[in-house]
Structure 1
Amino acid sequence: MATTSSSGPARSDVKVGRRRPTKGDRREQAILDGAYELLRDTPLRTLSIDDLAKRAGLSRSSFYFYFESKWQVLFAMLGPITEDVFTASRLIFERPVDMDPQEAIEQASAEVVTVWHRHGHILREVGDAVGAEPDLRSQWDSMLGQFIQAAADAIERDRAAGVALDGPPPRALAAALMWMGERNLGLMSMRSGNAIPSEDAVDTIATVWLRTIFGVGTRAQQDGEIAT
């Protein structure tokens, strides 16, 4: 699995066993790293190919050797970042048998919000571009579909074990929860006034998942109810 550092996205297609990156690999990564930093302050729609090439220390023609367009750069960054989000979400999908749902959902919610904050400027650009770029929209839909299916499988397992509540079909419920999360986190990335305040994001997201699937609140909420 590829990893992504806070300084930039890692490539997800490096061949296993390669001992050192080639010159071409380094140039391609320089484009990705440069774009990752430029997008912190500048929307991709206003960046030119020359901007991306210059930041990477390359010529315009060298850029086109690796990418056909600036949108393809965003496409290349999305996979590794999504893997980061999926890893942060893993306790939702593969909760250990000795971990209660509240602990798992709370921990996963906190990790997802942390990762989303780290890569929010890239995910904001994806949200802005998917309506106009069919290939990017298809990739985003496919990736979200993997999240939805993993959550649906987890809901189905928990229902079969008598842990989760009965309700809508697992995939429909998982889709509703995932799209809710995607929209809310997207609003956070855009710094929308309608976004959940950052300090409330983890508790809000965890509460929605826990009450919807398991019929319980967070551990803090439960402790408060017991105390009163």
Structure 2
Amino acid sequence: MVASFSNGLSGAEPRAGRRNLKGDMREQAILECAYEALRKEPMRTISIDRLAKGAGLSRSSFYFYFESKWQVLSALLSSVTDDVFIASSMIFDRPEGISPEAAIEHAVSEVVDVWERHGHVLREVGDAAAAEPALQAQWDRILGRFIDAAAAAIERDRSAGVALDGPPARALAAALMWMGERNLGLMTMRSANAIPVDEIVETTTTVWLRTVFGLEYRGGSARS
């Protein structure tokens, strides 16, 4: 069962007067129908009639909630990437007493789990973004949020003497985040060039530790 998609369209405010409990349930039904349909086929072949029917609505009722099927994909993207951001939180805001290794290792494991659940949506965004400028702009904003959060964490650790000096924090964060994004995308496409799932945690944690902290990965032994 898909999680509740309640965060709206690309972070936009809901249209005045249209939100109520029944409306939220109908919007949720459209999103759930699209989420499941995308497991089997791309959005370009999924009709609005199908999404409306799958949600128990008429075609005209669909347009009360979404202007297009691409706006449905936008809403799914917002919700899925919120889950990815939460999964990454130990990288961005490491709890006191948790080592960099333990925090990064945990975050990478969580992100991989989330990506494996929602990868069919993220794969579709990657395919559709080139033809949908608004979707591409949304994806860029989302990646910017991740990069900014990682850069702030690197700057905090540098100020505390925990992280190494080096390239500008945002440039370094961008390199690390794009590395992760590209590999997860390849994993979703089942590319032979993706890092195998059973090697992602060790590989990604090693890169982060060496690059940001000058530390070696000890295979999950560091917990303090």
Question: TM-score scaled to structure 2, two decimals?
Answer: 0.89
Query: For residues 31-52 of structure 1, what are the alpha-carbon distances to aligned partners after superposition, in whole Å with 9 as ceiling and x for unaligned?
Result: 0011011111111121111121
The match for 2:63 is 64
**1:7 alignment counterpart:** 2
Partner of 2:38: 39
Kindly indicate whether the alpha-carbon contact (under 8 Å) linking 1:9 and 1:81 is maintained by their aligned counterparts in 2: no
After superposition, the CA RMSD in angstroms is 1.9
* 1:166 aligned partner: 165
State how far apart, in whole Å, the 1-side matches of 2:197 and 2:97 are: 30
In the alignment, the residues of structure 1 paired with residue 100 and residue 91 of structure 2 have an alpha-carbon distance, to the nearest angstrom, of 8
Matches within 5 A, 1:110-125: 110-125=109-124
For these two proteins, the number of residue pairs brought into alignment is: 214
Provide the residue aligned with 2:213 in structure 1.
214
Partner of 1:107: 106
The answer on whether the counterparts of 1:39 and 1:122 sit within 8 Å (CA) in structure 2 is: yes
Task: Give 1:1-228 correspondences, 5 Å limit.
Answer: 7-13=2-8, 22-220=21-219
**1:138 and 1:79 mapped to 2: Cα distance?**
12
> Which consecutive segments of 4 or more residues in structure 1 shift more than 3 A?
none
SS in structure 1 of the partner of residue 27 of structure 2: helix
Q: Which runs of 5+ in 2 are unaligned?
A: none
8 Å CA contact retained: 1:31, 1:53: yes
Identity %: 66
What is the CA distance between 1:21 and its match in structure 2?
5.1
- AA of the residue aligned to 2:72: V
1:53-82 CA distance string (max 9 Å, x none): 121122211112211111110001111211
Q: Show CA shifts across 1:125-157 (max 9, x none).
A: 111111111111111111111110110011111
Indicate if the aligned counterparts of 2:43 and 2:69 stay in contact, CA closer than 8 A. yes
Which deviations, in whole Å up to 9, do the C-alpha atoms of 1:166-193 show, x marking residues without a partner?
1110000000111111111011111112
Residue 163 of structure 1 aligns with an amino acid whose one-letter code is V
Aligned to 1:193, the other structure's residue is in SS state coil
Task: For 1:94 and 1:63, locate their aligned partners in 2 and report how far apart those are by CA, in whole Å.
Answer: 40
The alignment partner of 1:131 has SS state of: helix
Q: Distance in 2 between matches of 1:117 and 1:202?
A: 14
Return closer, same or farther for 1:222/1:28 CA change in 2, 3 Å cut-off. closer
Q: Give the match's secondary structure for 1:167.
A: coil
Structure 1 residue 221: deviation in Å? 7.9
Q: CA deviation at 1:91?
A: 0.5
TM-score by length of 1: 0.88
Q: Counterpart of 1:181 in structure 2: which amino acid? A: G
